[in-house]
């Protein structure tokens, strides 16, 4: 049985889809949820799903190996970023080489980097009059949105799309593909 840790900062819709995907599985399960935002919706998901959760303390996250120890003690096989807004520190990336993945709501390398998350991405894509957007699932390295791409999926942007309607199209792709990629990586 493989153990998945999810790092999130918000409501946790991708976390819920991954939990649902592995419900009843004998291959893997989400066994730990970590979040850097007190009161975030992902904590409610963790409580409802009876999954242990931890509030990440910024100073400890960036200046110690405490969270590496927590992940290792929990025998985590894969770290999944699901709307986690902090850059992962190098010591954590090095402790889990090619075992930390992220999903980005655009077709990287476009519309990535510091500050490019959520509605900021969709606003920029619409403002640039792009004809397509999508998701990029990638490995995490020491830079924002820079790790090797695992999968990109696209959606068409129509002239009447708004950042809000684009966000919904992208979220459909996220919910469909992220759990499948998590499963695939755990079987490698």
- Reported as a single tens digit per residue, the pLDDT across 27-48 is 999 999 999 999 999 999 999 9
- Rounded-to-integer distance, Cα 45 and Cα 52, Å: 10
Does the pLDDT value for residue 125 go beyond 90?
yes
Those residues whose C-beta lies under 8 Å from the C-beta of residue 12, and which sit 6 or more positions away, are 6, 33, 40, 41, 42, 44, 45, 82, 83
pLDDT recorded at residue 43: 98
Is residue 23 part of an annotated ligand binding site? no
Q: Name the CATH code of domain 2-186 (choices 1.20.58.340, 3.40.50.2300, 3.40.50.170, 3.90.1150.10).
A: 3.40.50.170
DSSP 3-state assignment of 164? Answer: helix
For residue 149, pLDDT over 90 is answered with yes
| Range 164-182 average pLDDT | 98
pLDDT average, residue stretch 77-106: 97
Active-site amino acid positions: 104
Model pLDDT, residue 105: 98
Show me where the domains of the chain are located. Answer: 2-186
% of the chain at pLDDT higher than 90? 99
24 labeled binding residue? no
Over 80: is that where the pLDDT of 188 sits?
A: no
User: Annotation-wise, does 60 bind a ligand?
Assistant: yes
Closest CA to 106 of 88, 127, 86: 127
- What is the predicted pLDDT for the residue at 187? 87
Average model confidence (pLDDT) across the chain: 97
The response to whether 25 counts as a known ligand-binding position is no
Reported as a single tens digit per residue, the pLDDT across 155-166 is 999 999 999 999
């Amino acid at each position: 049985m493989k153990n998945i840790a999810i790092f999130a900062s918000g409501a946790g819709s991708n976390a819920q889809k991954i939990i649902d995907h592995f419900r009843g599985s004998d291959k893997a399960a989400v066994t730990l949820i970590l979040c850097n935002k007190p009161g975030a919706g992902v904590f409610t998901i963790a409580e409802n799903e009876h999954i242990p959760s931890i509030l990440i303390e910024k100073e400890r996250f960036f200046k110690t190996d405490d969270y590496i120890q927590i992940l290792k003690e929990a025998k985590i096989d894969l770290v999944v970023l699901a709307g986690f807004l902090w850059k992962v520190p190098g010591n954590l990336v090095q402790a889990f080489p090619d075992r930390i993945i992220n999903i980005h709501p655009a077709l990287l390398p476009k519309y990535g980097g510091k500050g490019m998350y959520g509605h900021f991405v969709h606003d920029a894509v619409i403002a640039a009059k792009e004809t397509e957007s999508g998701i990029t699932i990638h490995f995490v390295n020491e830079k924002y949105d820079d790790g090797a791409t695992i999968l990109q999926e696209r959606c068409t942007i129509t002239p009447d799309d708004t950042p809000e309607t684009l966000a919904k199209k992208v979220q459909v792709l996220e919910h469909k593909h992220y759990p499948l990629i998590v499963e695939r990586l755990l079987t490698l």
